[in-house]
């Protein structure tokens, strides 16, 4: 059936609206990039809009001149790999049994509410620090991973996704003589790739953007993840550790362009990873919804 004139107008308006929303999302990022590539006088005077004014790399030269920057990137990458792996493994292992019917898992509701209560109530910062300290995790990568090892919100999303999968597939595996472990890894995991990719993206963004726990649980600056290191550079820059060459670069860089360069470098890795997970992310937007 050929599209009517009103249908074409409706589709055209949708395209225009989506294009406008895409531009609104790109404008702030382009503005930050333009400030980071502009001369100090232009960025300090507020003359930069969406295009660099008197193009210069001085901001990035100063940020990349410090060895601590690359050390913090290594810590963040390690945290990203370890933390995301632990999060996804525990999320899958908890969501699968809790997705079963009450006659298969009698105390399912009690365990589910146990996890939900952790969302509603929190022990507080001081008990959390004392727990990490007394378990000997301070200044280790596990202090950044284990306190949030089970993302309960992600677990609830995956739980509902598992419930929506056809039960006949699992029953066919049981008829062939397999058990729950085989059903999980051969049926549920392959069918849940959109959901798992979406939750993986959530975990990666969380670990990459977290900075507060790094400041609390890491006593040595060389153990800071990238975001914690960048926060210290913005809030309390230590001039005693700056070399003469770095001091000369700092004189050519304004506060706005320096911060903009750090913000852009901090967001760049996630921006590079997102396109590869976009198709799964779109499929996972209905994660946990009820199918009719």
159-178 exposure pattern, b = at least 16 Cβ within 10 A, e = fewer: bbbbbebeeeebeebeeeeb
Assess whether pLDDT exceeds 90 at residue 86: yes
> Domain holding 156: CATH number?
1.10.3720.10
Q: Is residue 93 part of a domain?
A: yes
CA distance 22 to 186: 38
State residue 83's pLDDT score. Answer: 95
Give the DSSP letter of residue 188: I
Q: Is residue 106 part of a domain?
A: yes
Distant-in-sequence, close-in-space partners of 275: CB < 8 Å, separation ≥ 6: none
Q: Is residue 172 part of a domain?
A: yes
115-169: pLDDT as tens digits: 988 888 888 889 999 999 999 999 999 999 999 999 999 999 899 889 888 888 8
Count the domains in the chain: 1
Domain that holds residue 252: 59-286
Longest dimension (CA), the chain: 74
State residue 290's pLDDT score. Answer: 46
Q: Is residue 11 part of a domain?
A: no
What pLDDT band is residue 251 in, cutting at 50, 70 and 90? low
Q: Is residue 154 part of a domain?
A: yes
CA distance 203 to 206: 5
Q: Is residue 4 part of a domain?
A: no
Q: Is residue 198 part of a domain?
A: yes
State residue 67's pLDDT score. Answer: 82
State residue 1's pLDDT score. Answer: 46
Q: Identify the residue with better confidence: 234 or 143.
A: 143
CA distance 8 to 183: 47
What pLDDT band is residue 282 in, cutting at 50, 70 and 90? low
Most confident region among 73-82, 104-113, 237-246 by mean pLDDT? 73-82
177-204: pLDDT as tens digits: 888 898 898 889 988 888 898 899 889 8
Distant-in-sequence, close-in-space partners of 231: CB < 8 Å, separation ≥ 6: 211, 215
* Count of other CB atoms within 10 angstroms of residue 115: 17
Assess whether pLDDT exceeds 50 at residue 291: no
- Going from the C-alpha of 129 to that of each of 117, 126, 140, the distances in angstroms are 20, 5, 13
Most confident region among 96-100, 231-235, 248-252, 275-279 by mean pLDDT? 96-100
Q: Is residue 6 part of a domain?
A: no
Most confident region among 48-52, 126-130, 245-249, 263-267 by mean pLDDT? 126-130
User: For 276-282, what is the mean pLDDT?
Assistant: 66
Assess whether pLDDT exceeds 60 at residue 289: no
Q: Is the torsion defined by CA of 204, 210, 213, 219 positive or negative?
A: positive
57-78: pLDDT as tens digits: 888 887 787 788 889 989 999 9
Give the DSSP letter of residue 290: P
């Amino acid at each position: 059936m050929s599209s009517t004139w009103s249908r074409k107008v409706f589709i055209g308006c949708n395209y225009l609206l989506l294009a406008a929303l895409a531009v609104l999302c790109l404008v702030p990022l382009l503005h930050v990039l333009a400030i980071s590539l502009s001369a100090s006088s232009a960025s300090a005077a507020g003359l930069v809009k969406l295009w660099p004014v008197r193009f210069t790399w001085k901001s990035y030269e100063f940020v990349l001149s410090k060895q601590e920057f690359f050390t913090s990137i290594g810590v963040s990458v390690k945290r990203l790999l370890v933390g995301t792996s632990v999060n996804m493994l525990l999320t899958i292992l908890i969501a699968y049994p809790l997705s079963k019917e009450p006659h298969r898992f009698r105390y399912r509701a009690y365990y589910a509410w146990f996890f939900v209560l952790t969302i509603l109530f929190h022990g507080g910062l001081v008990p959390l620090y004392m727990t990490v300290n007394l378990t000997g995790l301070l200044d280790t990568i596990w202090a950044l991973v284990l306190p949030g090892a089970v993302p309960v919100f992600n677990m609830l999303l995956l739980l509902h996704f598992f419930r929506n999968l056809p039960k006949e597939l699992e029953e066919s595996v049981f008829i062939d003589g397999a058990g729950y472990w085989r059903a999980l890894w051969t049926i549920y995991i392959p069918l849940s790739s959109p959901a798992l990719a979406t939750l993986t993206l959530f975990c990666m963004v969380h670990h990459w953007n977290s900075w507060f726990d790094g400041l609390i649980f890491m006593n040595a600056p060389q153990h800071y993840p990238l975001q914690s290191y960048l926060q210290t550079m913005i809030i309390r820059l230590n001039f005693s550790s700056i070399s003469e060459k770095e001091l000369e670069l700092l004189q050519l860089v304004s506060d706005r362009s320096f911060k903009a360069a750090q913000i852009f470098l901090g967001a760049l890795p996630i921006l590079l990873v997102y396109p590869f997970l976009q198709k799964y992310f779109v499929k996972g937007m209905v994660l946990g919804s009820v199918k009719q």
